[in-house]
Amino acid sequence: MHKKLRVGLVGYGKAGQAVANILSSDPRFELCWIARRSNQSYVQTHPGTDIHIISIDQQSYGELFERHPVDAVVDFSVRTSIHAYGEEVRKRGIMLVSAISAYTESDLEYARNLGKDTRVLCSPNITLGINFLIFAAKLLRKIAPFADVEILEQHFREKPEISGTARKIAEKLEVGGERITSLRLGGIVGHHEVIFGFPYQTVRLIHDSIKREAFGTGAAFALAQLANCGNGFFTFDDLLLQLMQAELMQQR
């Protein structure tokens, strides 16, 4: 990327604020604006920057893109937003990185359709580390299908349900939910571990979440990779695969 990619961020909640911290300090990007639902008159710019936080209740995405053009939209808001900005993104060829975890099948169908006219990435789990862990674990599972597999997840004491990421790992490795062990301890942000038991050795793949800013690092990675792609609908796996293939070709 030679010139900075102009980015608009939709959603300024727990995740969006951390993502704004990363995107606003990454020299590859110019975070042009942040959109949220409500009009919080006491905060008008992202702390330490002059990036404006706009209420989407007060203007349409068409007006927003017209007044403040961007090359990419990053979405950390709600599942309905894609239907509000989708046609504007399509018309203008703006690339989209959506981290929304709760899309329905028909939302995803719409996102795939947008991919006919622009570049779209949807990732219900956008951290680079977890995506790499799943990728590596799938590879080892294929190479060594005879090894036992256990998944260990540890989270803060108050988290009631089994981690969605652990269930996703189990699904990708084609093992049942009974292979997941959950521990609830103090203030652990998020720990996922895949353990492969071989007859004479053990392999452990471990990911520890430290801060929500990891979502921003993942979004930044996705933006940079997507900028090198043609129009289409992509998953995080697709982007990782492209990089790994290029890396393996170099090693040959």
Ligand X SMILES: NC(=O)c1ccc[n+]([C@@H]2O[C@H](COP(=O)([O-])OP(=O)(O)OC[C@H]3O[C@@H](n4cnc5c(N)ncnc54)[C@H](OP(=O)(O)O)[C@@H]3O)[C@@H](O)[C@H]2O)c1
Binding stretches for ligand X (CB under 6 A): 10-16, 35-38, 56, 76-78, 80-81, 99-102, 123-127, 215
Q: Which is nearer to ligand X, 148 or 171 (CB)?
A: 171
Tell the smallest beta-carbon distance from residue 179 to ligand X (Å): 23
Residue whose C-beta lies closest to ligand X? 13
Q: Which is nearer to ligand X, 87 or 148 (CB)?
A: 87
Q: Which is nearer to ligand X, 12 or 29 (CB)?
A: 12
Burial of 10 (C-beta count, 10 Å sphere; 0-12/13-18/19+) = buried
> d(Cα 239, Cα 245) in Å, to the nearest integer?
10
Q: Which is nearer to ligand X, 45 or 202 (CB)?
A: 45
Tell the smallest beta-carbon distance from residue 163 to ligand X (Å): 12
> d(Cα 113, Cα 115) in Å, to the nearest integer?
5
Tell the smallest beta-carbon distance from residue 11 to ligand X (Å): 4
| Cα separations in angstroms, 178 against 141, 163, 208 | 17, 13, 22
Tell the smallest beta-carbon distance from residue 146 to ligand X (Å): 32
Tell the smallest beta-carbon distance from residue 156 to ligand X (Å): 15
Residue 76: which residues within 8 A CB-CB, separation 6 or more?
9, 10, 11, 13, 15, 16, 19, 99, 100, 215, 219
Q: Which is nearer to ligand X, 147 or 188 (CB)?
A: 188
147-150 CB contacts, 8 Å cutoff, 24+ apart: 147/196, 147/197, 147/198, 147/203, 148/195, 148/196, 148/197, 149/173, 149/175, 149/179, 149/194, 149/195, 149/196, 149/197, 150/179, 150/181, 150/194, 150/195, 150/197
Q: Which is nearer to ligand X, 80 or 113 (CB)?
A: 80
Tell the smallest beta-carbon distance from residue 61 to ligand X (Å): 9
